[in-house]
Structure 1
Amino acid sequence: MSDMIEKHGADASVAEVQAAASTVEVPSYQPRQTFRQMLRNDLGFLPVLLTLVLIIIFFQVLNPIFLQGENFTNILLQSASLGIYSSGIVLVLLLGEIDLSVAAVGTLCGVIMAVLTERHGWAIAPALVVALLAGGCAGLLNGLFVAVLRIPSFIVTLAFFIIYSGLLLFLLGTQTTQSVGDPFILALAGTRVSYFTDVLGVGLPTLAVLGYVGSLIIEYFARKKAGLRTMSITRLMVQSVVAVVVIEGVVVILENYQGVPYSMGILFGLILLLWVVLTRTSFGRHIYAVGGNAEAARRAGINVVGIRVAVFVLCSLIAVLAAVVDTSRQNAVASAIPSMLQLNIIGAAVIGGVSLFGGRGSIWAVVLGIFIIQCLDNGLSLLNQTSDVQQMVEGLVLILAVTSDALIRRAQARSRSGR
């Protein structure tokens, strides 16, 4: 720098000095990562995956029925609606917001659909349209109160949870449940479960996982060619291998029983769609930007209010889809919202690695989160443990997940401030 000042003189303009400085070659230096840094930045999903593997091994050793085709299919059928619910809540969590009304919205829309079809003789198609419209309006109300009126999402969604709980009682009247007999609904996850053919049951998941791995590889080389920061080759290999092993392993177990149920196709199709939206579209990048730093996103020209409203609407619409699948599994709708449903919806996303503070997490976290919760419920039930033990264990896993997320964020903040 002193040579530049001598060359340009004391009266040199700032522009000249900056232009000269831009020609100076700065040697690149990439500090060697410690194991802790590598685990935190590149392999942060491994602790969650390892937890799931240990849970599966533990229950399989204690009860060999656990991984048999019939029981595993039952786990997946129970996971479908919860996974769909959690897929929607992930979008809200990425914004750094919370939606405590999503279980009530889904249950309410399921009741609307059932009342229209069973009591008023509507066909299933228009009944589903009305249910979706009701869900969209509920999400719009949440979004307007949170994004426009700037009322904390915790308060807004809790209030609507209470309102919708009362509306459920009003719609069903003296009945506590309403049975559903539509064959289309029952075929999704109910007693008349329909399964994909062997060709589709094996082919569709295989194509999906190959597409996912291929997109990771293409993105890796594209970013590397452009000189942008890329994931490590270790993370690329681990993510690819884990995706292939998990998906194909699940398919093998299911095909050895009756096949892949439609509800699993709905769940993984939705997750794949949301993954594409979040990682390949400007809308998805804006969600991460708003969740990471809303003020910076606003100054960058992002419509923060619009993004927040859209996400709450989308979350509620996804809740309607989850309610349809849950109605199929239960063969009925009820006026009471399951006591643990809302907590499990949020817990599945958080346990899977989505941050409660916004801006960090993947939609695929839902898969790990719901499997951990459902494997715990199913495994403890096979061991004849009561619901009180199940809830205590789930609560312990959730507090560990939230604590690890907070500690990781603090470590990352200290790392950035020390640079």
Structure 2
Amino acid sequence: MNAAVAPEKPESPRTPGSTDASTKEAKASAVSLRSVAVTYTERVRGGDLGALPAVLGLIVLCVFFAALRPVFLSELNFANLLTQGAGSITIAMGLVFVLLLGEIDLSAGYASGVCAAVLAILLTDHGWPWYGAAGAAILTGTVIGLLLGVLVAKIGIPSFVVTLAAFLGFQGVVLILLKEGTNISIQDQTILAIANNNLSPAIGWALLAFCVAAYAAIQIRQNHNRGRRGLTIAPPALLAVRIGGLAVLGALAVHTLNQERSRNVIVDSLKGVPIVVPVIAVLLVAGTFLLQRTSFGLHIYAVGGNAEAARRAGINVAAIRISAFVICSSLAAVGGVIAASRGNSVDPNTGGSNVLLLAVGAAVIGGTSLFGGRGRVVDAVLGGMVVAVIQNGMGLMGYSSGVKYAVTGSVLLLAAGVDALSRRRAVQR
């Protein structure tokens, strides 16, 4: 028995060239600022917290320390915060790639120390130019990452075991390179400038204007392309909030850093954005583009979400894992260069002590999941600022290193707990 067929409605006449343009325009205009807020709220309720805990924690910590120690908000302390956490943030950016796969790299700290030692030896003992020595240090990190990645992806040794062995081994390598404890001073002015010098105020404002203009162009172009394909687009009000928020926060930061911070202006003027800030910004943009705008980034998330499904989809899982470790160790090398610049020297403690704790803490506190498949490079920056604020604020309050470690470890445990609970809630829904 044939089912009754409802009569078709006559199609409305179309003008030449209209095709599906009206349909696409309807879809593009269907999204409002309110619907974006509702969607985000549903995501949070579903367990996808993202960087929200880190942002809220950063705000609460800043208010808390500023209330107890007003000097926390001084221009000098603000600049110290940015340079203090730069090395750990850089290493944490690399760790994000490994953590997205559900793996771990416990050797990243001492790998940065090995690369810093290579930099110092080539600069001091062999007279290499700064670009050659820095390039050799980063190449050393790349080789380290390749070795670790092959052992994990090809041989099948768990990353925890491989990187724990490397953590122990690289301590010995640093001692060997530095002749059992030699302190090598960095004399090259270019390397020293990375973490110790500042941009001129004019260049700081010009750099901010360029960044805001570039960000605005990217956001508008992405929205336009999505509209052309008939996909939902962000409302203009949301674009204005994003672009305006970046402009306002950036202007406040640049204005603050352009104030005179020196206590003796006659001897030495100290103002401007620290050079290490645009270095971190470039790494952030490059890492974000790699993860979110390339097929390689999509493969990282796919392997981290379900490695077997990714393999069946034709993704070379082993190559992705090796690449993640290569990126991690290469960025650890950059972190080692920054640490050498900040310390004006390299010694056996470079890359050791609490470097790994702070880097892993930065990535996890910022919102990168320890279970893989969820996280962004910006998480490392946000988490790194949380860790730097804790260390800096407690230092201003006179607490000992032991208390700082205890508090930072507690915050890391709290972040991991939130990650586990939010993931469980997402699965239950």
Length-normalised TM-score, structure 2: 0.83
CA distance in 2, matches of 1:39, 1:315: 29
Residue 338 to residue 360, structure 1, CA distance change in 2 (3 Å)? same
Matched positions, count? 388
CA deviations over 1:303-349 (Å, ceiling 9, x no partner) = 21111111111111111111111101000111134321101111101
Amino acid at match of 1:39: V
- Partners of 1:86 and 1:366 within 8 A in 2: yes
Residue 87 to residue 113, structure 1, CA distance change in 2 (3 Å)? same
CA deviations over 1:201-240 (Å, ceiling 9, x no partner) = 1222343244335434543454465455777999767655
Q: Secondary structure at the match of 1:301?
A: coil
Residue 141 to residue 390, structure 1, CA distance change in 2 (3 Å)? same
Among residues 383, 401, 406, which one is paired with 2:420 in the alignment?
406
Amino acid at match of 1:342: L
Unaligned runs of 5+ in 1: 6-29
Q: Secondary structure at the match of 2:102?
A: coil
Within 5 Å, which residues of 2 pair with 1:299-310? Answer: 299-310=312-323
CA apart distance, 1:370: 0.9
CA distance in 2, matches of 1:291, 1:129: 30
CA distance in 1, matches of 2:420, 2:136: 41
Q: Secondary structure at the match of 1:53?
A: helix
Q: Which has the higher contact order (CA 8 A, sep 6+)?
A: 2
CA distance in 2, matches of 1:163, 1:341: 16
CA apart distance, 1:293: 1.4
Among residues 173, 185, 203, which one is paired with 2:179 in the alignment?
173
Q: Which residue in 2 is equivalent to 1:63?
A: 69
Among residues 39, 48, 73, which one is paired with 2:44 in the alignment?
39
Within 5 Å, which residues of 2 pair with 1:18-417? Answer: 37-40=42-45, 44-189=50-195, 193-220=196-223, 222-223=225-226, 226=229, 228=231, 240=243, 242-257=245-260, 258-336=271-349, 337-415=351-429
1:3 paired to 2:3: yes
CA apart distance, 1:46: 2.7
CA deviations over 1:181-203 (Å, ceiling 9, x no partner) = 111111111xxx33222232122
- Partners of 1:142 and 1:156 within 8 A in 2: yes
CA apart distance, 1:174: 3.8
* Higher mean C-alpha displacement, 160-169 vs 121-130: 121-130
Unaligned runs of 5+ in 2: 6-34, 261-270
- Partners of 2:138 and 2:330 within 8 A in 1: yes
- Partners of 2:85 and 2:385 within 8 A in 1: yes
CA distance in 1, matches of 2:85, 2:428: 38
Q: Percent identity?
A: 41
CA distance in 2, matches of 1:355, 1:231: 27
After superposition, the CA RMSD in angstroms is: 2.7
CA apart distance, 1:301: 1.6
Q: Secondary structure at the match of 1:59?
A: helix
Residue 48 to residue 2, structure 1, CA distance change in 2 (3 Å)? farther
CA deviations over 1:247-276 (Å, ceiling 9, x no partner) = 333222112241111111101111011111
CA distance in 2, matches of 1:238, 1:158: 44
* Higher mean C-alpha displacement, 208-217 vs 154-163: 208-217
- Partners of 1:52 and 1:371 within 8 A in 2: yes
CA deviations over 1:133-177 (Å, ceiling 9, x no partner) = 221111001110111112111111111111111111111114342
Residue 281 to residue 384, structure 1, CA distance change in 2 (3 Å)? same
Q: Which residue in 1 is equivalent to 2:18?
A: none
- Partners of 2:208 and 2:250 within 8 A in 1: yes
* Higher mean C-alpha displacement, 161-170 vs 194-203: 194-203
Residue 145 to residue 43, structure 1, CA distance change in 2 (3 Å)? closer
Residue 233 to residue 150, structure 1, CA distance change in 2 (3 Å)? farther
Residue 228 to residue 405, structure 1, CA distance change in 2 (3 Å)? farther
- Partners of 2:109 and 2:332 within 8 A in 1: yes
Length-normalised TM-score, structure 1: 0.85
- Partners of 1:206 and 1:248 within 8 A in 2: no
